[in-house]
Amino acid sequence: MTLMMPIKPEPAQRIYSGIKKFELRKSIPPETGNVYLYETKDNTGDIHAIRGCFYFENYFKLPINELWDKVGVLATTQERFFKYYGTGIKYGIALSIERVELLKNPVTIDQIKKIDQNFSFPHYPWSYLQIDENSLVIKYLNNLPRKSFINNSLNSKMISRAESSLFIKPITNIKEEKIFRYLYETDIVPYYDGCEGYFNRLLDVNKHGFDNFGYFTQKKDIWTFHQDKKIIGFTVSTLKRGGSLKFGPTVLLPDKRGLGLGTKLKLLVELKYPNIRKFYCTVPETNYAGIKSNIRAGYRIEAHLLNQYGNGKNELVFGKLIKPNIPKLFQPFVNINTNSIRILNGNELDYKNLQEIVHLLLSPWYDDINNEFINGLINGMKQNLDISRKCKKVGIALQNEIPIGIIIVTPKRGGATKCSPFILNQNNLVCFQKLLEYASKSFIEFLSRKSYIHIPILQSFTIQNAINLGYKPEGILQEPYKPGIDVLVIGKEIT
């Protein structure tokens, strides 16, 4: 069975944009699964259109005040929350929005009636309509092309009633400070140069409630993380001017790592700041556990800071925009002679040169770049357009005849073109553009409906520029080709 429920346009848009993580209801859903939303006009209540759906596996029922404390800010504003439930309802329902799909084109009610003239919609805004999977309407909706997908990392499992043993509170005494200091010195200091005196500064700013020396920093709060009333970790939240908040440093006891608790700690702290428009943090590029924790909490890479806190100690900036604004075009400064870059076809190289270049560019990101890998490339390049034999094109970017980037293009069954690997070994916009241009022209006779790219998440420059071109994140593959190297999958429909 599939569900359908009415919703007003404004909250529907927040679901489709990924901002709204929970859908509030007054009654328990008859089942979990896929939910199509049909939007009503705000003033008349007349049915407007169906623009998409979301999927949920989890929901929970809580007293109204407790429901607000748990997920309220992830669903709506406080005013709307309590207005919706009113004074006569003791319990509320929150559906965890775990995947969102936006249709390429909205479906009007007239279109639905043409498919099934007897199809009727629920009349009340809190109601559900169960529809059989064999229904002509559901078959029609399920087969429509999608415009975009969103996978929410946050779901009710992370902050459900079953996790009631987890809680946070401000740091309060010297004993807690000593535990925090020990973890900080053993787990944080090795990643950074010049840490002397910083811990005492954290305690001082937290104690006074403001930062005398901060021009963007307003205050710092130190939070203790508890499980079954025992301290298991700490984090610092720094309130910034402009409505943003920075996390870190964050530390957990050694036996509590690798269990997903760092993710839950971050989400619990977020709930303490309902008016923040953006959360962010920095993570050393070699701290793979921290990287995974941020990704699971819904954070995305925004910048790659080279030699930020010491030579060779690079940082990743993760951000989570709660209240998005009109995005600005990202244009990195690249001072380079365009004529010095050219794209070379891999089939123009002999075996030895191809082997050396491919190994140079790919071995930091992929294991087993051996002779079998090179043989597979050569065999694929010999095929013109034979998907069954994994035909492919290899484009190599040369700057003054030095290899600086590579893209391997493969047409796939179903009409998509795969660009993987796609690697740049320097933040070079011209190289990025020329390699993508090479990919778009590699198989002109193959009428691709979609392009998708695999990019190691540490290649943040490549990721950011691809997103600027309209590519959208579709998922993260955890360590698929090399231990410690996760890969982001991004896709774009070709019109």
C-beta of residue 32 within 8 angstroms of C-beta of residue 58: yes
3-state secondary structure of 11: helix
Residue 434, pLDDT score: 93
Cα(236)–Cα(258) distance, integer angstroms: 20
- For residue 143, the tally of other CB atoms under 10 A from its CB is 7
Q: Which residues contact 266 (CB under 8 A, 6 or more apart)?
A: 235, 247, 250, 279, 293, 294, 297
DSSP conformational letter for 329? P
Closest among 287, 419, 427, 399 to 340, alpha carbons compared? 399
C-beta of residue 471 within 8 angstroms of C-beta of residue 491: yes
Residue 122, pLDDT score: 64
Q: Which residues contact 455 (CB under 8 A, 6 or more apart)?
A: 422, 462, 463, 466, 487, 488, 490
Cα(68)–Cα(79) distance, integer angstroms: 11
C-beta of residue 146 within 8 angstroms of C-beta of residue 53: no
Structure tokens given for 385: 């357009």
Flag whether pLDDT at 396 surpasses 90.
yes
Residue 303, pLDDT score: 65
Flag whether pLDDT at 151 surpasses 70.
no
Q: For the residues 387-413, what does the mean pLDDT come to? A: 86
Q: For the residues 89-99, what does the mean pLDDT come to? A: 87
Predicted confidence band at 88 (pLDDT cuts at 50, 70, 90)?
confident
Q: At what angle do helices 261-270 and 288-296 cross, to 10 degrees?
A: 50
Flag whether pLDDT at 93 surpasses 50.
yes
Burial of 122 (0-12, 13-18, 19+ CB in 10 A): middle
> Is the dihedral angle over the CA atoms 56, 57, 62, 67 positive or is it negative?
negative
Average pLDDT, the chain: 81
Cα(7)–Cα(359) distance, integer angstroms: 53
Higher-confidence residue of 407 and 450: namely: 407
> Is the dihedral angle over the CA atoms 128, 134, 137, 141 positive or is it negative?
positive
Cα(325)–Cα(211) distance, integer angstroms: 28
DSSP conformational letter for 82? H
Give buried/exposed letters for 218-245 (b at 16+ CB in 10 A, else e): bebbbbbbebeeebbbbbbbbbbeeebb
Higher-confidence residue of 332 and 193: namely: 193
Which of 1.10.150.120, 3.40.630.30, 3.30.230.70, 3.10.105.10 is the CATH number of 338-493?
A: 3.40.630.30
C-beta of residue 3 within 8 angstroms of C-beta of residue 121: no
- For residue 465, the tally of other CB atoms under 10 A from its CB is 19
The torsion angle over the Cα atoms of residues 24, 281, 457 and 193, rounded to 10 degrees, is -160
Residue 330, pLDDT score: 35
Q: Write the CATH number of the domain with boundaries 165-321.
A: 3.40.630.30
Which of 6-15, 152-161, 426-435 bottoms out in mean pLDDT, i.e. has the lowest? 152-161
Residue 329, pLDDT score: 36
CATH 2.30.130.30 describes domain 2-151: yes
Across-strand partners of 487?
456, 477
Cα(128)–Cα(193) distance, integer angstroms: 57
86 sits in the region (left: phi over 0; alpha: psi -120 to 50; else beta) called left
Flag whether pLDDT at 210 surpasses 80.
no
Higher-confidence residue of 385 and 405: namely: 405
Flag whether pLDDT at 282 surpasses 60.
yes
Across-strand partners of 92?
62
Flag whether pLDDT at 398 surpasses 90.
yes
> Is the dihedral angle over the CA atoms 283, 172, 208, 267 positive or is it negative?
positive
Residues of the chain with CATH 2.30.130.30: 2-151
Cα(429)–Cα(350) distance, integer angstroms: 28
Residue 331, pLDDT score: 38
Give Cα 146 to chain centroid, integer Å. Answer: 19
Residue 482, pLDDT score: 79
- For residue 31, the tally of other CB atoms under 10 A from its CB is 10
Structure tokens given for 482: 């090399």
Give tens-digit pLDDT for 154-206. 544 455 444 557 888 999 999 999 999 999 888 888 776 556 677 888 888 88
Cα(26)–Cα(324) distance, integer angstroms: 28
Residues of the chain with CATH 3.40.630.30: 165-321, 338-493
Looking at 134-282, list the stretches that DSSP marks H as alpha helix, in order from N- to C-terminal side: 136-142, 174-187, 198-208, 261-270
